[in-house]
Amino acid sequence: MKLKIIIAAAIAASLYSCSGSEKPVDMTAEKKASKNKLETGIVSEKALSSYVRLPGQLKPFNEVNIFAKINSFVKQIYVDRGSVVHKGQLLAVLEAPEMASQVQSANARLLQAQESATASREKYRRLKEAAKEEGAVSPLDLDNALSKMKADEAVVLSERSTATSVRDIQSYLNIRAPFDGMIVQRNVSAGALVGPGKSTDQPMLVLQDTRRLRLEVMIPENYVDKVDLKQQVSFVFNALPGKDNKAYISRSANALGTQRSEAIEVDVMNKDQRLKPGMYGEVKIPIVFGAKSLLVPNNAIVRSTEREYVIKVKDGKAVFADVKEGIAGEEFTEVFGNLKSGDHIVLHAGDDTKEGQLIPLNR
Task: Tell me the average pLDDT across 346-362.
Answer: 78
pLDDT at 321: 87
Q: Beta-carbon neighbour count of residue 206 at 10 Å?
A: 19
Question: In this structure, what is the dihedral angle of CA atoms 266, 270, 274, 276, given to the nearest 10 degrees?
Answer: 50
Contacts of 72 (CB under 8 A, 6+ apart): 94, 95, 96, 99, 173, 193, 194, 195
Rounded Cα distance, 67 and 60, in Å? 19
Q: Beta-carbon neighbour count of residue 256 at 10 Å?
A: 15
Q: Which carries the bigger pLDDT value, residue 129 or residue 3?
A: 129
Residues in the chain, overall count: 363
Residue 294 φ/ψ, nearest 5 degrees: -80, 125
Q: Do 266 and 232 form a contact (C-beta atoms < 8 A)?
A: no
Q: Positive or negative, the Cα torsion across 129, 130, 132, 137?
A: negative
Beta strands in 11-121 (DSSP E): 40-42, 44-66, 72-77, 84-85, 90-95
Residue 78, CA distances (Å) to 25, 85, 94, 186, 197 in order: 93, 10, 12, 11, 21
Q: Does 5 score more than 60 pLDDT?
A: no
Q: What is the CA radius of gyration of the chain?
A: 45
Given pLDDT bands bounded at 50, 70 and 90, which one contains residue 244?
Answer: confident
DSSP 292-303: EEEEEEGGG-EE
Residue 343, CA distances (Å) to 45, 58, 313, 331, 355 in order: 11, 47, 8, 18, 16
The whole-model pTM stands at 0.57
pLDDT at 226: 79
Mean pLDDT of the chain: 81
pLDDT at 209: 92
Task: Tell me the average pLDDT across 55-72.
Answer: 91
H or E element that contains 139? helix 139-171
H or E element that contains 13? helix 2-21
Task: Tell me the average pLDDT across 37-56.
Answer: 79
Q: What amino acid is encoded at 59 in this protein?
A: K
pLDDT at 361: 67
Q: Beta-carbon neighbour count of residue 152 at 10 Å?
A: 20
H or E element that contains 247? strand 245-247
Task: Tell me the average pLDDT across 62-69.
Answer: 91
Helix (H, G, I), strand (E, B) or coil at 314: strand
Could you report the per-residue pLDDT of 134-176, keeping only the tens digit for each?
A: 777 778 877 888 888 888 889 889 888 888 877 777 788 899 9
Question: In this structure, what is the dihedral angle of CA atoms 76, 80, 86, 88, given to the nearest 10 degrees?
Answer: 20
Residue 184: is it exposed, middle or buried by C-beta count within 10 angstroms (0-12/13-18/19+)? middle
Q: Do 312 and 42 form a contact (C-beta atoms < 8 A)?
A: no
Given pLDDT bands bounded at 50, 70 and 90, which one contains residue 11?
Answer: very low
